[in-house]
Homo-oligomer: A and B are copies of this chain.
Amino acid sequence: MAKTDVLTLAILGILQDQPLHGYQIRKLLGAELGPFRALSYGSLYPCLRRMVDTGLIETAGEEPGAATPASSRRARIAYSLTEAGRTRLTEELASAGASSWDDDTFDVRFALFAHTDSATRLRILEGRRSRLSERLEEVSEGLKRMHERHDAYTAELQRHGLERVEREVEWLDQLIENERSAPGGDNPGPASAGH
């Protein structure tokens, strides 16, 4: 099975509901994933081309001299999933590969949870959790050793990073608990975890 990078996966995901233009893809993806992880045209268009080349998506360009005779409409290219693309997405959604809990992949996988079955959701959440646990230990140990080599600001940076990871683990615990108690539920959990 050919491997699918994050961007490709995200595009497959957003195209499954409706065909979109490049511009719309960028905008929608930006809205879904937040202002973090901006997606630039410099990566979007090459990726779209790659996907067309490998047959995952196809273009449905609006031909210039069509309905209205005199209007030379601007080139607008709508991308839609091919059968192969839909298959690939399904495969990818069902298989929670180890990379699913990587920092940059997890967000996209999570955004696609509505299209993922409960067992896979759970596996991904737990994988991510254990990944963060490792990091937690790693950082705390580094922090302990840091007391020897002074510099309060560097230590504070580590401390804050540690806290951030701890928060994310708590968040995951909430989600996991809810997933276990309501495997079929559409809702990710109690409306608010903290605050």
Where the two chains meet, the residues of A that have a C-beta atom closer than 8 Å to any C-beta of B are 31-36, 103, 107, 110-114, 135, 138-139, 142, 146, 151-161, 163-164, 167-168, 171, 175, 186-189, 192-195
Q: Once the chains bind, are B34 and A158 in contact (CB under 8 Å)?
A: yes
Identical copies of this chain, number:
2
Indicate which residue in B152, B164, B168 contacts A114 across the interface (CB closer than 8 Å). Answer: B152
Q: Complex: how many Å from CA A135 to CA B142?
A: 31
Indicate which residue in B32, B139, B156, B194 contacts A154 across the interface (CB closer than 8 Å). Answer: B32
Q: Complex: how many Å from CA A167 to CA B186?
A: 27
Q: Once the chains bind, are B167 and A33 in contact (CB under 8 Å)?
A: no
15 residue pairs bridging A and B, Cβ less than 8 Å apart: A32-B157, A34-B139, A36-B103, A110-B153, A110-B157, A111-B154, A111-B157, A114-B151, A114-B153, A153-B188, A155-B188, A156-B188, A156-B189, A160-B171, A167-B167
Q: Once the chains bind, are B34 and A159 in contact (CB under 8 Å)?
A: no
Name the B residues within 8 Å of A168 (CB-CB).
164
Known: A35-B135, A142-B31, A156-B188. A164 touches B167 (CB 8 A): yes
Q: Complex: how many Å from CA A155 to CA B167?
A: 18
- A28: nearest chain-B partner, CB-CB: B149
